[in-house]
Structure 1
Amino acid sequence: MNIFKQFYRSLYSPKDIASFRFQGIGKTIIYLLLLTIIAAIPNLYYLSKGINEAIHTFSITMEEEVPSFTISDNTLNTKNQNEPTIIEKPDLTIILDASGTYDHTKISTYGNTVALLKNEFVIVTAGQAQSFEYSSFGNITLTKEELIDFIQTMDSLAYVFIIILVVTYILFMLIYKVLQTIVLAMFGNFFSKIFGRALTYAQCWKITVYSTTIPVIFFTIMDCLQTIVPSGYLLNWFISLFLVCLAIKEVKPEKPLQP
């Protein structure tokens, strides 16, 4: 049976999932990688889309709406601008403040934000603020026009960063899925003994991988809809373990020894 038929059968048949315990370990690993990629697609799509839009919005806004400035001697200087400039876009806030009114702790309360402050550069994404003092880049001199040129270069190279992001994200997702299946297989091995099924740990692990198909598809759909599932991680583990138990129960029990 090819991997796509296995995927289809794993959506509804614990009996078929139980039968997959006899296949090679390599095919199961490939299937686990397939599930990982499916689970990663929605988040990677929205993340890459957000990066592209943020860079483009930042570039256009800097060029058209942000007043002239220079960064020299590790300090931001603006011309004829004593008050902070705050530009709010639908998905991005840009702050230019040479007065010292803002710092990274105050900006961290905003949504997605890029801020050029008196002595530091701050980026806020997903509620997390990362600040970089100008002095950490050396004693640079930078104008608004030079920064715009740099951002436009970043915009043209965004696909490179996105590819690196995709590979890194899938790698971490795969590590998480491997750890999850290892733990669930331990429970599965324990339940196989309770149910009187003669299963090795390796067979339980193969059953576990295919048993995670339904929760992967469910949470992928929720991610596509950008819907948060309450206690999602616990629900994921509970459903997976429940399906592991159903599949193990489809295995024929050991025959009692004849006296």
Structure 2
Amino acid sequence: MNIFKQFYRSLYSPKDIASFRFQGIGKTIIYLVLLTIIASLPNLYYLNKGINEAIHTFSVTMEEEVPSFTISDNTLHTDNDKEPTIIEKPDLTIIVDSSGTYDHAKINSYGNTVALLKNEFVIVTSGQAQTFDYSSFGNISLTNEELIEFIQTMDSLAYVFIIILVVIYILFMLIYKVLQTLVLAMFGSFFSKIFGRTLTFAQCWKITVYSTTIPVIFFAIMDCLQTIVPSGYLLNWFISLFLVCLAIKEVQPEKPLQP
């Protein structure tokens, strides 16, 4: 049975899932990679969209709305050193503050933010702030025109960074899926003893991989709709474990030897 038929059967048939325990380990690994890619696609799509929109918005805003500034001697200088400039866009806030009014702790109260502060550069994404002192780049000298030119270069090369992020994200997701299926396979081995089924750990792991198909599809759809599932992490594990149990129960118990 090819991998796509296995995918279809795994959506509704615990009996078929149980039968997949006899296939080679390599095919199961390929299937796990396929599930990982499916689970990653929605988040990668929105990540790609967000990065492109953020870079474009930042570039246009810097060029058209941000006042002139320079960074020299590791300090930001603007024409107005008494109050900050705050530009709020739907998905991005840009702050230019040479007055010292803001620091990275105060920036955390905003959503997605790019802030040029008196002595540091701050990026806030998903509530997490990354701070870089100007001094960490050496004794730089930078104007807003040079920064705009750099951002426009980044905009044209964004696909390179996105590809790198995609690879890293899928690798981390694959590691997570491997660990998840190994833990579930341990529970599967325990259940196989309770149900009186004779299964090796490798067979339990193969059953586990295919049993995660339904939760992967469900949460991928929720991610596409950008819908948060309450206690989604626990629900994912519970559904997977329940399907592992159903598949193991479909394994025929060994008949006792006749005397």
TM superposition score category, shorter chain reference: over 0.9
- How far the C-alpha of 1:80 sits from its partner, in A, is 3.8
- Partners of 2:106 and 2:134 in 1: CA distance: 18
Residues 85-96 of structure 1: matches in 2 within 5 Å? Answer: 85-96=85-96
| Residue 131 (structure 1) aligns with | 131
Counterpart AA for 1:160: V
Residues 182-193 of structure 1: matches in 2 within 5 Å? Answer: 182-193=182-193
- How far the C-alpha of 1:82 sits from its partner, in A, is 2.4
Partner SS for 2:198: coil
Partner SS for 2:11: coil
| Residue 233 (structure 2) aligns with | 233
- How far the C-alpha of 1:81 sits from its partner, in A, is 5.0
After superposition, give the CA deviation of every residue in 1:32-57 in whole Å (9 maximum; x if it has no partner): 00000000000000011100100000
Counterpart AA for 2:93: T
After superposition, give the CA deviation of every residue in 1:153-196 in whole Å (9 maximum; x if it has no partner): 10011000000000000000000000000000010011101101
| Residue 20 (structure 1) aligns with | 20
After superposition, give the CA deviation of every residue in 1:64-117 in whole Å (9 maximum; x if it has no partner): 000000000110000145211000000000000000000000001110000000
Counterpart AA for 1:159: Y
- How far the C-alpha of 1:24 sits from its partner, in A, is 0.4
Q: Please tell me whether residue 197 in structure 1 is matched to residue 197 in structure 2.
A: yes
- Partners of 2:257 and 2:27 in 1: CA distance: 34
Change (3 A) 1:106 1:80: closer
> Structure 1 runs of 4+ off > 2 angstroms?
256-259
- How far the C-alpha of 1:258 sits from its partner, in A, is 2.8
- Partners of 1:53 and 1:142 in 2: CA distance: 24
| Residue 180 (structure 1) aligns with | 180
Q: Please tell me whether residue 58 in structure 1 is matched to residue 92 in structure 2.
A: no
Partner SS for 1:82: coil
Q: CA RMSD in A?
A: 0.7
Partner SS for 1:99: coil
- How far the C-alpha of 1:254 sits from its partner, in A, is 1.7
- Partners of 1:225 and 1:143 in 2: CA distance: 41
Q: Which runs of 5+ in 1 are unaligned?
A: none
- How far the C-alpha of 1:129 sits from its partner, in A, is 0.5
Q: Please tell me whether residue 45 in structure 1 is matched to residue 52 in structure 2.
A: no
| Residue 223 (structure 2) aligns with | 223
| Residue 69 (structure 1) aligns with | 69
- Partners of 2:3 and 2:43 in 1: CA distance: 24
| Residue 162 (structure 2) aligns with | 162
Residues 203-218 of structure 1: matches in 2 within 5 Å? Answer: 203-218=203-218
- Partners of 1:136 and 1:16 in 2: CA distance: 58
Counterpart AA for 1:145: E
After superposition, give the CA deviation of every residue in 1:97-144 in whole Å (9 maximum; x if it has no partner): 000000000001110000000000000000001110101111111000
- Partners of 2:110 and 2:256 in 1: CA distance: 66
Taking structure 2 as the reference length, the TM-score comes to 0.99
Partner SS for 1:67: coil
| Residue 120 (structure 1) aligns with | 120
- Give the % identical residues: 90
- Partners of 1:187 and 1:257 in 2: CA distance: 28
| Residue 4 (structure 1) aligns with | 4
| Residue 250 (structure 1) aligns with | 250
Partner SS for 1:87: strand
Counterpart AA for 1:191: F
Taking structure 1 as the reference length, the TM-score comes to 0.99
- Partners of 1:186 and 1:82 in 2: CA distance: 63
- Partners of 1:190 and 1:79 in 2: CA distance: 70
